[in-house]
Structure 1
Amino acid sequence: MSSSTTDNGTEFTHFKSIERALKIPVFFAKPYCSSDKPHIENINGLIRQYIPKGKSFDEISDDEIRQIQNQLNNRPRKKLGYKTPYEVFFLHL
């Protein structure tokens, strides 16, 4: 069964609508406990290869964000059997 673990930010106030839309339970990580959400921490690390910590997103164009997104979505992952997130997403549609 799939689930989603999120931060405790206000952006997840309406988590019930996420649960209904995705038909999966949403859990909340304990504050300052990155081990509760290792997949998010992993992608944060991958993003940091392109955008150093402390750099303002105001300095990054929408086109640059799309390029990074495209590179990450087409990067094979061991966790996905060396398939890309893009491949796995479309396998499950």
Structure 2
Amino acid sequence: MISERPPEITDRAVPGHWEGDLIIGKNLGSQIGTLVERTTRYVMLVHLPGTRDAATVRAALSQTMTVLPAHLRRSLPWDQGGELAEHKRFRIETGIPVFFCDPASPWQRGSYENTNGLLRQYFPKGTDVSVRTADDLARVAHELNTRPRKILNWQTPAQRLAALIDAA
């Protein structure tokens, strides 16, 4: 549970802690995986064109997260949806422990909730996100990651992430 997460995660001082969930499209028939790093606000979108069963989501998240250096793969809080039922295998593949949020507690993933609001500008509720390609998702992530943010002293998430990678 998220209450078992190490306390240093709370103040966002240590990079590499992510928040994630799915954006569900029209009639619950399509989805996009969303990951946001808590310190930099860097966004990665996961193409899930078919189903959101646990094996598919785990494989897609693993593939996405393992492109990052190990020091940027520290934890991932998620809601209690069945799509991450293979969280133990995900941890073995990536080294990332998963912490599950309490039901009906969106504030426990505040960066994700904020990012979800930004993503709804591109993927409004009720739209069919299955028509979006991996390239479409990469373009949207790039736009968000190169948008200066007040919370980052007008730097971009991409600049912040690059600095963390360069420093390693």
Give the TM-score, by structure 1 length.
0.77
1:36 aligns with 2:36: no
CA distance in 2 between counterparts of 1:45 and 1:37 reads 13
Query: More displaced, 77-86 or 46-55?
Result: 77-86
Partner residue of 2:142?
Answer: 70
Mapping 1:47-62, distance limit 5 Å: 47-62=119-134
User: How far off its partner does 1:61 sit?
Assistant: 2.7
Query: More displaced, 79-88 or 39-48?
Result: 79-88
User: How far off its partner does 1:28 sit?
Assistant: 1.9
1:17 aligns with 2:91: yes
CA distance in 2 between counterparts of 1:21 and 1:11 reads 19
Identity over aligned residues, as a percent?
A: 34
Structure 2: gaps spanning 5 or more residues: 1-7, 10-16, 18-75
**Structural RMSD (CA):** 2.3
Residue number among 114, 117, 121 corresponding to 1:45 in the alignment: 117
Name whichever structure is richer in helix by fraction: 1
User: How far off its partner does 1:9 sit?
Assistant: 2.8
CA distance in 2 between counterparts of 1:26 and 1:81 reads 30
Runs of 4+ in 1 over 3 A off after TM superposition: 1-4, 10-13
User: How far off its partner does 1:42 sit?
Assistant: 0.6
Q: 1:26 to 1:77 in 2, by over 3 A?
A: farther
CA distance in 2 between counterparts of 1:42 and 1:84 reads 15
Name whichever structure is richer in strand by fraction: 2
The one of the two structures with greater contact order (alpha-carbon pairs below 8 A, sep at least 6) is: 2
Matching residue's letter, 1:68? V
User: How far off its partner does 1:68 sit?
Assistant: 0.7
Structure 1: gaps spanning 5 or more residues: none
